[in-house]
Structure 1
Amino acid sequence: MAVKLTERAAQEVRRFQTEHNFDESMVLRIGVAGGGCSGFNYTLNFDTDFDEKADSKYDCHGVSVVVDKKSALYLDGTTVDWHESLEKQGFTFENPNAVKSCGCGSSFQA
């Protein structure tokens, strides 16, 4: 399996890239970092680096997504979506590997 973006999340990534005049060679890097109230935080960044030995690369609705192999162990099968409501807006993560997550949705425990 891989990390997937929904069509709505991909639209939001492309909108952000266009709005900030990012070069088309930029990729969306999704990963995990230690911390947060549940143990791991999700990370989303734009990057120009891609290492075939250390990273996996996916195309999701026209967006190049890169995940380092260590993060991929925790993110395999994860779907990233875009949520927008009166209370909040932002990317959400549906991670089948998470056994516990915090109320804010930005950290998890595997």
Structure 2
Amino acid sequence: MNEGNIAFLNLGEDGKYQVKIVEQLDAASGGIYLKVPTGRVFVGAGEDTSGGGLEPDGSGSVQGFFHDIEAGNYLMSYKVEKGVIFLASSPSSESANRFTDSIRLAI
């Protein structure tokens, strides 16, 4: 996460959650700098992220979706409101983070 290659938001427990991508957030809870060289961002369960030769493929077993944006660096802001996770991305010159702990959202 500190290199800006991935963002994990710890939700505290397994389950289904509603995620909404919005243009901007008022009073965001926080933000994560991300590199998006392909213009595609996978939003979904951590176990469905890239790794070990596996990629999210859009099949029915993958819990999530792809969000297409222009390639570049972004600040992904987040907040939870009434049980819904809201995400907004804005272009940024930054691409690295300085986290010392996990991000935990209260759902």
Bin of the TM-score, shorter chain as denominator length: under 0.3
Higher RCO structure (Cα 8 Å, ≥6 apart): 2
Normalized per residue, which structure has more strand?
1
Normalized per residue, which structure has more helix?
1
Question: Given the two structures, how large is their TM-score scaled by the length of structure 1?
Answer: 0.27
